[in-house]
Amino acid sequence: MKYFIALILLLTTIGSIQAHELKGTVVSNSNTPIEGVSVYNQTTGDYTYSSTSGFFKLNDISLNDVIFFYNLGYATQQITITEEHLNTTIRVNLTESAVSLDQVVLVSKVNSLSTFLNVDVKTNPVKSSQEILRKVPGLIIGQHAGGGKAEQIFLRGFDIDHGTDVAISVDGLPVNMVSHAHGQGYADMHFIIPETVDNIDFGKGPYYANVGNFNTAGYVNLKTKKKLDNNLLSVEAGQFNSLRAVSMLKLLDEEQSNMYLASELVLTDGVFDAPQNFNRINLMGRYNFNNYDDQEFTITASHFQSKWDASGQIPQRAVDQGLIGRFGAIDDTEGGKTSRSNLWFNHTKQFNEHESLTSKAYVSKYDFELFSNFTFFLDDPVNGDQIKQKESRSIFGAESIYAHNFHFEKDNSQLKLEAGAGFRYDDINDVELSHTANRQTTLETYALGDVDEVNMYSFLNATYKKNKWTINPGLRLDYFKNDYIDKLQTTYTSLSEDKVFVSPKLNFIYAASPSVQLFLKSGIGFHSNDTRVVTANNGKEILPAAYGNDLGVILKPSSKLVINAALWSLFLEQEFVYVGDAGVVEPSGKTQRYGVDLGFRYNINPNLYLYSDANYAYARSTEEADGEDYIPLAPSLTAAGGLTFKNIGKFSGGLNYRYVKDRPANEDNSIIADGYFLSDFNMAYSTGKWTYGVIIENLFDTEWNESQFATETRLFNETNPVDEIHFTPGTPFFLKAKVSVTF
């Protein structure tokens, strides 16, 4: 801590503001200021971004410097500095244009690749809640309740289950649930309406001071639209009695104030023999105020609820013996229901050209009930082994970040300081694990209690830029307090533990040229443990650390091509591993991972966009003997990519693929989870305000397993249990038609 403060004090005493500067405002053709425009001095490599008012200032400007103005969705502008530019405040007009890679500049940001990802998002918008996370390079998901449960996530050699090692948020609202009834970090993103997603901010590894719990393999922050360009009505209908309807309507559309309401309804019986009877409804309302001077404020309210029946994971032997088909069930009374209501606020205050304050506050009400049967008749040969997991929680939180920018004349360097503080409080009532029958009768209650979990935190983040170098040290301090009241005890029993965790970060970026960026990232992150585990273990191993390093390069050899590569490592003091016979995720031992990320994005021409990512990971336990040190379900090789076409005549669409290699399902690799290669296709025809389209999932009707687990189970007619693969079958060829209108 003292070294970090000394570094900041040293940097802030270096000098004063340069005399030669370029100031101005960036506006659209309608004269509306544009925030977040990249203003880049190609001559010196200096850069800045426009503020809420569209204002920008670049220092150390000389005659004949070439300045570029970049922003997605706008044609890039270029000016060459003359005497006239140095003596006045200029006004730059950007013209709207189709999104392309040449609208993104390679600058010395810690997360430059995140900016390029949003070309993918804008070029081929998200079409389903499952597809949101698939946009993140290297991230693969699987669903084992047809859209009812949160997705199973794979990233950097992790089977993250439902979110144990990736921090997910929406406009700063946390998605991960601590001490969740179904598993630590459970991240149900189905309350997000896909059409509202505007861009995705992501980062791999634990290198970001402003991101805390669950940020080990990485983080994802979805940013949704602040306002609508057009109203939208859309209907999709397809196989398996599937129906989806979306509306996005402007309620207020003024120069400084905007309001819209979005809704989504999803119905389907699913692909299973037993109808899924799935339904989901989403509502989201947003008000945005921006005075395009010094202040922006957004208030958002949303409600989501869903319920479903499920066929669960089925044993391979039951299919092989003809007891059931691939889409059959051993216990077709599985399923559940869930709901979440959110209210959150985002506010930005620009005090002057150097200082700003960004704040957020949120409150959520969440309910969850899930019935599962992972072992069938292993423990109870009469009634079966169905379990119920249930909880009801309220979440409260707030955060403020103060930022100050400095420019030093003495050595022509820049410094941005950020200081943030916040808290999150989860009040979780009646967290239950019970043995049930037919989803109606409770046979035995295994666990029942109330959880109170508080996370208070603060962080310092500095970004120091000199010539081609950018240095980004950061320091984060987290405090956790875990309280648990065990309601199964005959006398009042309250358990409490607390812990402080310090996580330093240090990142280096070297901009060798405008087309080459090298980076070295390092940092310590953590994932918290379930409060019930923390209190049962008397506070031991509350916040196991994750130590990460990345060495990589981003290349932009032409305005239409971006290539990225990285070598990385990650060491965890404690792993979370799925325990098949209990249907829960439990703490395990220390693990290590090494890997390689490769990817490219290429605008073949204004109408064709090609992208691909491949990711290799070596994942092992460090406390087990060779040959018994495999991490169950950890993927070693994944890949995803696609070709998008747009405005070819009146047609647009894309062909996408994703690949997962075979992977170990248990510690000695004696049971294998089969890999798969899948392709999806979509095409739309637009005429006037109307768009007609088709969406095909699993274009080539591949037989695949979406989720797989090695589990010991016993069927009703078996004497002895069997340990083998249990799976949820993946969706076969799935055709949907879509009609939408904008107005």
Domains of the chain plus CATH, in order, are: 1-97 (2.60.40.1120), 228-742 (2.40.170.20)
DSSP 3-state assignment of 122?
helix
- How many other CB atoms sit within 10 Å of the CB of residue 164? 26
Q: Are 671 and 703 in contact (CB under 8 A)?
A: no
Q: Given this model, what pLDDT does residue 536 score?
A: 84
Q: Given this model, what pLDDT does residue 3 score?
A: 46
2 CB-contact burial (10 Å; exposed 0-12 / middle 13-18 / buried 19+): exposed
Tally: H helices and E strands in the chain: 6, 43
Contacts of 521 (CB under 8 A, 6+ apart): 110, 205, 207, 507, 508, 548, 549, 550, 551, 552
Phi, psi of 454 (to 5 degrees): -115, 135
Q: How many residues does the chain have?
A: 743
Q: Given this model, what pLDDT does residue 48 score?
A: 85
Contacts of 318 (CB under 8 A, 6+ apart): 324, 328, 330, 715
Q: Given this model, what pLDDT does residue 111 score?
A: 79
Determine the Cα–Cα distance for residues 140 and 277; give it in Å rounded to an integer: 26
Helix then strand then coil, in percent of the chain rounded to 5, is 5, 60, 35
In the 3-class helix/strand/coil scheme, how is 14-32 assigned residue by residue? Answer: CCCCCCCEEEEEEEECCCC
Determine the Cα–Cα distance for residues 641 and 644; give it in Å rounded to an integer: 10
Q: Are 527 and 541 in contact (CB under 8 A)?
A: no
Q: Given this model, what pLDDT does residue 20 score?
A: 77
The string of pLDDT tens digits covering residues 105-142 is 877 677 778 888 888 888 877 777 677 888 899 998 88
Q: Are 585 and 578 in contact (CB under 8 A)?
A: yes
Q: Given this model, what pLDDT does residue 585 score?
A: 56
For residue 319, what are its two tokens?
A: 């299919």
DSSP 3-state assignment of 302?
strand
Spatial CA neighbour of 186 closest among 576, 573, 497, 568: 576
Determine the Cα–Cα distance for residues 446 and 433; give it in Å rounded to an integer: 5
Spatial CA neighbour of 546 closest among 299, 216, 72: 216
Helix residue ranges, H only, 32-126: 83-86, 112-123
Q: Given this model, what pLDDT does residue 584 score?
A: 53
DSSP 3-state assignment of 718?
coil
Determine the Cα–Cα distance for residues 679 and 656; give it in Å rounded to an integer: 6
What is the Rg, in whole angstroms, of the alpha carbon atoms belonging to the chain? 26
Q: Are 181 and 390 in contact (CB under 8 A)?
A: yes
Q: For the chain, which residues score pLDDT lower than 50?
A: 3, 8-19, 580-581, 583
Q: Given this model, what pLDDT does residue 235 score?
A: 97
Q: Given this model, what pLDDT does residue 15 score?
A: 37
For residue 370, what are its two tokens?
A: 């899930």
Q: Given this model, what pLDDT does residue 579 score?
A: 53
Q: Given this model, what pLDDT does residue 10 score?
A: 46
Which whole-number Å values give the CA distances from 123 to 72, 100, 206, 296, 305, in the listed order?
Answer: 11, 8, 29, 27, 30
